[in-house]
């Protein structure tokens, strides 16, 4: 956890350069890819099933949405601020033949329409989760699951908290369900 936090703080310093279209105030966290084993654990934790609509907020290189489609049979939308990551993810999706089920929108997680989502995944900082919370509360349907990597959503009660230990590293996954958050 300490290693992850240090990496997040260092990478945060580089972010303002990247927030081109939306401005640095829209920044909810730096671009650090989730290790693949954690991506799968997050999607399992969200009980993603075939046909579900998964939104990954801050989708980076697209690994979560790609895994949601390939391994879980879901449809998926990635939402990403950084144009170069949007481009990279779209290229991967295209080359893997997933474009009929997976898409990336260049937009802010703080504004995007989330009403179709059955499951939302994200890896932002605690303060960012707090900023995002009113948008999730307004947009998400009853029963939608929210899976947050490493950081909780303060003010919400988790339905599950999963600890994943790999060597000396310990990761936390927080799971929430709309309608059961208080």
Ligand X SMILES: C[S@@+](CC[C@H](N)C(=O)[O-])C[C@H]1O[C@@H](n2cnc3c(N)ncnc32)[C@H](O)[C@@H]1O
What residue ranges bind ligand X (CB under 6 A)? Answer: 26-29, 31-34, 56-60, 63-64, 79-82, 85, 108-110, 123
Angle at 19 between CA 150 and CA 17, to 5 degrees: 100
Cβ closest to ligand X, residue 52 vs residue 80: 80
Angle at 52 between CA 51 and CA 53, to 5 degrees: 120
Tell the smallest beta-carbon distance from residue 117 to ligand X (Å): 14
Cβ closest to ligand X, residue 26 vs residue 160: 26
Tell the smallest beta-carbon distance from residue 81 to ligand X (Å): 4
Cβ closest to ligand X, residue 113 vs residue 179: 113
Tell the smallest beta-carbon distance from residue 35 to ligand X (Å): 9
Cβ closest to ligand X, residue 27 vs residue 129: 27
Half-sphere exposure of residue 153, counting CA atoms within 13 Å on the CB side? 29
Tell the smallest beta-carbon distance from residue 79 to ligand X (Å): 5
Residue of this chain nearest to ligand X (CB atom): 58
- Is the torsion defined by CA of 149, 150, 153, 157 positive or negative? positive
Which one, of 96, 101, 114, 120, lies nearest residue 50 by Cα?
Answer: 101
Q: What is the dihedral of CA 71, 72, 75, 80, to 10 degrees?
A: -60
């Amino acid at each position: 956890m300490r290693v992850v936090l240090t990496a997040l703080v260092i990478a945060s310093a580089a972010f303002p350069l990247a927030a081109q279209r939306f401005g640095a105030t829209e920044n909810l966290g730096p671009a650090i890819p989730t290790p693949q084993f954690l991506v799968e654990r997050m999607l399992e934790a969200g009980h993603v099933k075939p046909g579900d609509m998964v939104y990954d907020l801050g989708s980076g290189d697209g690994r979560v949405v790609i895994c949601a489609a390939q391994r879980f049979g879901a449809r998926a939308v990635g939402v990403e601020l950084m144009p170069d990551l949007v481009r990279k993810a779209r290229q991967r999706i295209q080359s893997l033949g997933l474009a009929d089920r997976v898409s990336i929108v260049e937009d802010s997680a703080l504004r995007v329409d989330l009403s179709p989502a059955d499951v939302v995944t994200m890896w932002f900082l605690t303060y960012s989760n707090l900023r995002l919370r009113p948008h999730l509360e307004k947009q998400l349907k009853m029963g939608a699951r929210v899976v947050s990597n490493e950081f909780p959503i303060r003010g919400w009660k988790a339905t599950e908290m999963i600890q994943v230990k790999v060597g000396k590293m310990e990761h936390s996954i927080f799971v929430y369900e709309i309608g059961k958050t208080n």
